[in-house]
Amino acid sequence: MSSNAPAVLTRRRPSIDIVDAKVAVDLATAQTYSENVFLFVPNLIGYSRIVLAALSLHYMSYHPKYCTVLYCISCLLDAFDGHAARALGQSSKFGAVLDMVTDRCTTSCLLCYLTSAYPEWALAFQFLITLDFSSHYMHMYSSLITGSRSHKQVDSDVSRLLQMYYNPRTLFVVCAGNELFYIALYLLKWVHTPMSESLGMTGPLAEYTWPQLLAYVCGPICALKNFVNLVQLWKASKILVGVDLAERAKAREEELSKNQ
């Protein structure tokens, strides 16, 4: 183990160079408007997502239509900022973190409302919030500490499941299904008319409301998303422990070399 530790520690992907924090702050302060990362198009889309999400939360307790429309637009814009970043050559670490933090905060705020709407399920919603934040934080940190350019770049030898999950199409479907499930739970408190009356449907599904049907369809996707969160948390924990072990082994070797 100890003989391989230095190699493990020094192996870095051709990705990022270490920048001093003071240098980074000075660069961000002195940046010109031709290269202002804060004003990159994908980041502007990210800011608009925050505004839309805030408006959605404002209407959440008393106007479900406005809330749902604004929330859905905010979530849909999540699919466009990545495309804009690649098309315009404006990918940035700030944008990646802004995107992830916006996703986590928006979903958590909706889950907080669901906690009050379904108090008997409060513990479950609190668990989902905790799992979502912890898994993504630890995954992001483990990605940075191992030199990855993006937390969405996962090698198959680390986790084949996470590699498949972070495929752009798979990621969109799973995240959309997850959000739609929570939105359906929200709308269940407001929509009580069966589809036989609201849409004139007939058949075995006609007695359900459309949020109920949406919840049944998207529930398995939500379960898959949270299973992936568990895997992501476990894999990130193992990576961080592996880095700890390698660093400790390297420190012991250096101490032995000093004493010889």
Q: Which of 78, 81, 99, 103 is catalytic?
A: 103
Structure tokens at 206: 């006609």
Distance, in Å, from the CA atom of 236 to the CA atom of 100, rounded to the nearest integer, reads: 16
* 99 labelled catalytic: no
Residue 59 carries which side chain, given as an amino acid letter? Y
Q: What residues contact 136, with CB distance under 8 A and at least 6 apart?
A: 100, 104, 151, 229, 232
Tell me if residue 153 falls in helix, strand or coil: coil
Structure tokens at 5: 């530790």
Task: Provide the CA 246 distance to its chain's centre, in angstroms.
Answer: 28
DSSP category for residue 151: T
Give the total residue count for the chain: 260
Q: Are 58 and 43 in contact (CB under 8 A)?
A: no
Distance, in Å, from the CA atom of 95 to the CA atom of 115, rounded to the nearest integer, reads: 30
Distance, in Å, from the CA atom of 54 to the CA atom of 65, rounded to the nearest integer, reads: 15
Q: Are 193 and 166 in contact (CB under 8 A)?
A: no
Residue 88 CB: number of other CB atoms within 10 A? 11
Distance, in Å, from the CA atom of 123 to the CA atom of 132, rounded to the nearest integer, reads: 14
Place of tokens 């940046």: 31
Positions annotated as catalytic residues are 103
